[in-house]
Amino acid sequence: MSVDFEAIRKREWPVLETMTFLDAACVSFAPQRTVQALKDLADFSARQDEANSSAHHIAMDAKRHKAYEEARKLLNADPEEIALVESTSHGLNIAANGIELQDGDNIITTNLEFIQVALPWCVMRKEKNIEIRVAKTADTRFTAEDFAKLCDDRTRLIVLSTVEWCNGWRMDLKEIGDFCKSRGIFLVVDAVQELGVNKLDTKQFHVDILTAGGHKWLNSPFGTGVLYINKETLPKLKSVYHGYLNTKEPPEGWGGYWENPAASSVNDWEFDMTARKFEIGGTSNYPGAVALGESLALVNEIGIENIQARVEELSAYCMEQLEAIGATIITHKDPGRRAGIVIARIFEDLDTERAILKKLHAQNIFVAHRFTDYVGGFRISCQYFNNHQDIDNLAAALKKLIAEVGRAPDYKKPW
């Protein structure tokens, strides 16, 4: 399938004509179709098309359904495995509270994670005697073997990002998932830096819980994200929230139940064994869900394979152009082990790099500077709406700013 990415860019993201935007890994812009869907929802909320207010409320709930279905398609998941959360942080907290740990248990993460990845378990250490073991490698690559070295019979879960935010390393989820399944270890992943640009087929690898906010590579910055829970894992988790919309719907529907004089306020409520059981289960973020549904639908219409090929080509071109001006690429070039994030360093002196970043922003060229455990640098996000001109603009501006510094780039990788 041939995709006209330039036409999509012009139609959906006119804002990109006003700047050089290469920072989707921070927060992206909504496409115009998503903006229109939100305007339509706002208009809907200001009138009543249904027979009564109860029916109107139910109709509002139904507007969330598109997000579930489009997320299911993108992840090749079963319907009962998909839920909506407000953010990656929300999904990770569901995982932390749902997987019950005992004193003496341990979990494993890496030294390059965004702070939220391990944060719920860091807090848990105040109440339980659990250990957090941190995988660290000499070259900032991670494989299943690196995690296996830290495992013992009290290892309960591995939590990590599918793509590391500060060096762009893409995990081999098939290898890591197979290892976890063979050892009976829960695998929890933050996919926020990958979902929407790389194919993540949950039928092709094992993962227990996967979550991703919509505000980055899914181009939906409205407070709703995706939560995937493997259907085999669902019965093993403790529910965190208990809302009436998570319970089994009564035969007469909620509208009929509310009108039933015999309805009781106290019941032995039953819950369907689906990922939605872990949602809050009350009146929800309708704008966020509607927006996410539209942005996910755009990804599915373009085709994740087409997007992945586009992003891989752009990130490779970005690396070439940055190297041509003397930058050192931190992101590994291993085939299949990167996504849309390109990390580069120019000068050893961070103050000089920070000054360069500030001047780029003043020129409406937007990239970021990100680090964890001394690994990172300039972070350039190559999203499918970007093009070679964006990267050429960045490279040309950097070349001039390097000349203004008055010395050649001097950063050298430690590995």
Dump pLDDT digits (tens) for 323-349: 999 999 999 999 999 999 999 999 999
192: left (phi over 0), alpha (psi -120 to 50) or beta: alpha
Q: Alpha helices of 46-87 — where are they, by DSSP H?
A: 53-62, 65-75
pLDDT of residue 320: 98
Dump pLDDT digits (tens) for 359-404: 999 999 999 999 999 999 999 999 999 999 999 999 999 999 999 9
Res. 254 pLDDT band, cuts 50 70 90: confident
pLDDT of residue 253: 87
Dump pLDDT digits (tens) for 259-275: 899 998 999 999 999 99
Query: How is residue 271 written in tokens?
Result: 């819950």
- Average of per-residue pLDDT across 277-291: 96
Residue 34 sits at φ, ψ, to 5 deg, of -70, -40
- Does residue 304 register a pLDDT over 80? yes
pLDDT of residue 6: 98
Written in H, E and C, the secondary structure of 221-279 is CCCCEEEEECCCCHHHCCCCCCCHHHECCCCCHHHHHHCCCCCCCCCCCCECCCHHHHC
Residue 69 makes CB contacts below 8 A (sequence gap 6+) with 79, 293
Residue 336 sits at φ, ψ, to 5 deg, of 80, 0
Dump pLDDT digits (tens) for 191-246: 999 999 999 999 999 999 999 999 999 999 999 999 999 999 999 999 989 999 88
pLDDT of residue 414: 84
- Does residue 138 register a pLDDT over 80? yes
Reported as type and span, the H/E element at residue 178 is: helix 173-183
Query: Distance between CA 341 and CA 380 in Å, rounded?
Result: 6
pLDDT of residue 240: 86
The rounded mean pLDDT for the chain is 97
How many percent of the chain have pLDDT more than 90? 93
- Average of per-residue pLDDT across 141-146: 98
- Does residue 61 register a pLDDT over 80? yes
- Does residue 1 register a pLDDT over 80? no
Query: Distance between CA 339 and CA 304 in Å, rounded?
Result: 12
Query: Distance between CA 150 and CA 107 in Å, rounded?
Result: 9
Reported as type and span, the H/E element at residue 371 is: strand 368-372
* Nearest residue to 393 (alpha-carbon basis) of 19, 23, 15: 19
Query: How is residue 30 written in tokens?
Result: 């909504």
The DSSP call for residue 195 is B
Query: How is residue 156 written in tokens?
Result: 């309960």
Q: Using the structure block, give the residue that is written with the tokens 């509208």.
A: 255
Query: How is residue 339 written in tokens?
Result: 């996504």
Q: What is the DSSP string of 271-307?
A: B-SSGGGGS--SS--HHHHHHHHHHHHHHHHH-HHHH
- Average of per-residue pLDDT across 314-325: 98
* Nearest residue to 20 (alpha-carbon basis) of 399, 341, 351, 385: 385
Query: Distance between CA 157 and CA 113 in Å, rounded?
Result: 15
Dump pLDDT digits (tens) for 5-55: 999 999 999 999 999 999 999 999 999 999 999 999 999 999 999 999 989
Q: Using the structure block, give the residue that is written with the tokens 């000499």.
A: 138
**For the chain, what is the largest distance between any 2 Cα atoms, rounded to a whole number of angstroms?**
82
Strand extents, DSSP E, 19-136: 20-21, 82-85, 106-110, 131-135
Query: Rounded to two decimals, what is the model's pTM?
Result: 0.97
Res. 318 pLDDT band, cuts 50 70 90: very high
Domains of the chain with CATH codes: 5-30+303-405 (3.90.1150.10), 36-299 (3.40.640.10)
Answer whether 227's CB lies under 8 Å from 191's CB: no
368-372 and 375-381 strand pairing: antiparallel
Query: How is residue 124 written in tokens?
Result: 């848990």
